[in-house]
C-alpha cells in the first residue's frame, strides 16, 4: 500500500494554504518529525494518506507530484537523480525481468491489472509499477502475487526463469523501457500527434497601466491576442497580460506578454501576478522570509506583500514570457 512521493511539492502547497506542519501532522495522525521527512522525500506515504493530504491542502492529487513544467529546478533535478538511481537498481536486481514475466503470465491467463492487484492485496498503481520493473517486491508480496496468478511461489519462480532463458521477455522489457522514458519526459500536449492547431495556441491579452505600478486586468475587454508556446498547449486556463508596469524598469520591454496560469501554484522563486483587487494586479517574485512566511517582492522601489491564508487564490503563476 506504499506510494512513494520523492521529491514532492507538499511543503509548497502547505505554505500557500497557511497550514502548519503540526496541523498536517495532527490531521494525518502522525508525528511532526514524520511530516518533515515526508516533505523532504525521505519517508513514504500510503495511498490513503496521499489522498488525505490533497484534501487537507485543497489541491489536486497530481499537484503533489513533481513535474518538469511547474516545479522548482532543484526539485526536478533531485527527482531525475532519484529516477536514474532506481533504474540502476532495477538493472542489477532483475526487477525488469520479474515485471516483464508477471505481465507475460498475466496476459497468458487473460487477467487484468486490476484483478491481479486486488487479489494480491495491492493498489493498482503499486502492482503496475512492479510489472514495469520500477518497484521491489517483498516476500509477502511475492506470495500474494503468486496466489493471484493461481500459482505457488516455486512454480512462479520456475516459470519466470524459463521465460527469461527462452528470450520471451525481451520485447516486453523494451516496451517497458520505452514507456518509462516517455512517462518521465515533460508533457507538451494532451495528444500524441504531430499536428498542432495554431488557433488553439491563441490566447487573449489583457492589461493597461494602473496606479503605483500595477496592471489593470479587465477580462471583459481584450485588445489583442498572442500565440502561447506549444509547451503550454495543454494548459487551458492560460491568458496573456501586457507587461505595461514601470516597476520593472528597463529589465523587460513593455511590449512583452506574460502568459499566466491561475490554476498553477506559484512556488518560491516564481514570478506571479498578485491580484490586490479583482482587476488590479502587481508583478511579484514569490519569496520566503526567515520565519517561513511567504510574501511577494515588488521592485522599484522594493516592497513586500505578505500573503495570508486566502491569498493563494489571488496569486496567478507566470508560466512564460514572450518578448
- Distance from chain centroid for Cα 29: 25
Rounded to whole angstroms, how far apart are CA atoms 214 and 281?
6
For position 316, what pLDDT does the model report? 92
State how far the Cα of 108 lies from the Cα of 160, in Å rounded to an integer. Answer: 13
HEC string of the chain equals: CEECCCCECHHHHHHHHCCCHHHHHHHHCCCHHHHHHHHCCCCCEEHHHHHHHHHHCCCCHHHHECCCCCCCHHHHHHHHHHHHHHHHHHHHHCHHHHHHHHHHHHHHCCCCHHHHHHHCCCCHHHHHHHHCCCCCCCHHHHHHHHHHCCCCHHHHHHHHHHHHHCCCCHHHHHHHHHHHHHHCCCCCCCCCCCCCCHHHHEEEEECEECHHHCEECCCCCCCEEEECCHHHCCCCCCEEEECCCCCCCCCCCCCCEEEEECCCCCCCCCEEEEECCCCEEEEEEEEECCCCCEEEEECCCCEEEECCCCHHHHEEEEEEEEC
Name which of 37, 41, 43, 61 is nearest 51 in CA terms: 61
- For 157, the grid coordinates are 519462480
Tell how strand 257-261 and strand 239-242 pair up: antiparallel
Is the pTM higher than 0.75? The answer reads no
Backbone φ and ψ for 244, nearest 5 degrees, come out as -95, 5
CATH topology of domain 2-65: 434 Repressor (Amino-terminal Domain) (1.10.260)
Among 173, 86, 193, 191, CA closest to 136 = 86
Nearest one of 227, 232, 186, 183 to 71, comparing CA atoms: 186
Please say if the pLDDT value at position 284 is more than 80: yes
pLDDT for 205 beyond 70: yes
Architecture label for domain 198-322: Ribbon (2.10)
pLDDT of residue 301: 83
Spell out the domain ranges in the chain: 2-65, 87-183, 198-322
Domain 2-65 shares a fold with domain 87-183: yes
d(CA 108, CA 125): 21
For 260-287, what is the mean pLDDT?
88
Q: What's the confidence (pLDDT) of residue 291?
A: 83
Q: Report residue 79's pLDDT band, with 50, 70 and 90 as the boundaries.
A: low
pLDDT of residue 154: 92
Is 87-183 assigned to CATH 1.20.120.450?
no
- Whether 194 has a pLDDT exceeding 50, the answer reads no
Q: Write out pLDDT tens, residues 99-133.
A: 888 989 998 899 888 889 899 988 887 888 888 88
Q: Would you state the cell numbers that stand for residue 242, as one nine-digit string?
A: 501586457
Residue 80, pLDDT score: 66
Amino acid at each position: 500500500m506504499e506510494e512513494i512521493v520523492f521529491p514532492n511539492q507538499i511543503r509548497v502547497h502547505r505554505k500557500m494554504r497557511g497550514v502548519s506542519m503540526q496541523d498536517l501532522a495532527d490531521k494525518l495522525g502522525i508525528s511532526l518529525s514524520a511530516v518533515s521527512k515526508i516533505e523532504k522525500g525521505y519517508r513514504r506515504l500510503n495511498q490513503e494518506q496521499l489522498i488525505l493530504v490533497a484534501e487537507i491542502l485543497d489541491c489536486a492529487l497530481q499537484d503533489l507530484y513533481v513535474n518538469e513544467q511547474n516545479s522548482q529546478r532543484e526539485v526536478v533535478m533531485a527527482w531525475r537523480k532519484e529516477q536514474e538511481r532506481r533504474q540502476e537498481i532495477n538493472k542489477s536486481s532483475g526487477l525488469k525481468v520479474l515485471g516483464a514475466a508477471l505481465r507475460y503470465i498475466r496476459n497468458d491467463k487473460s487477467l487484468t491489472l486490476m484483478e491481479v492487484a486486488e487479489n494480491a492485496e495491492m493498489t493498482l498503481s503499486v502492482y503496475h509499477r512492479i510489472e514495469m520493473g520500477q518497484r521491489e517486491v517483498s516476500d509477502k508480496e511475492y506470495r500474494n502475487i503468486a496466489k493471484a496468478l493461481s500459482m505457488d511461489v516455486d512454480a512462479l519462480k520456475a516459470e519466470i526463469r524459463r521465460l527469461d532463458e527462452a528470450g520471451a521477455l525481451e520485447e516486453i522489457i523494451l516496451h517497458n523501457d520505452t514507456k518509462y522514458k516517455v512517462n518521465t519526459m515533460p508533457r507538451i500536449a494532451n495528444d500524441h500527434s504531430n499536428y498542432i492547431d495554431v488557433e488553439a495556441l491563441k490566447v487573449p491579452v489583457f492589461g493597461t497601466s494602473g496606479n503605483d505600478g500595477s496592471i489593470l486586468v479587465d477580462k471583459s475587454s481584450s485588445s489583442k491576442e498572442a500565440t502561447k508556446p506549444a509547451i503550454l498547449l495543454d494548459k487551458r486556463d492560460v491568458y496573456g497580460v501586457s507587461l505595461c508596469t514601470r516597476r520593472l524598469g528597463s529589465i523587460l520591454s513593455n511590449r512583452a506578454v506574460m502568459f499566466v496560469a491561475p490554476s498553477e501554484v506559484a512556488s518560491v522563486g516564481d514570478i506571479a501576478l498578485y491580484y490586490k483587487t479583482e482587476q488590479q494586479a502587481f508583478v511579484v517574485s514569490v519569496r520566503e522570509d526567515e520565519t517561513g512566511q511567504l510574501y511577494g517582492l515588488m521592485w522599484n522601489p522594493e516592497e513586500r506583500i505578505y500573503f495570508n491564508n486566502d491569498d493563494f487564490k489571488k496569486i496567478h503563476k507566470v508560466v512564460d514570457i514572450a518578448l
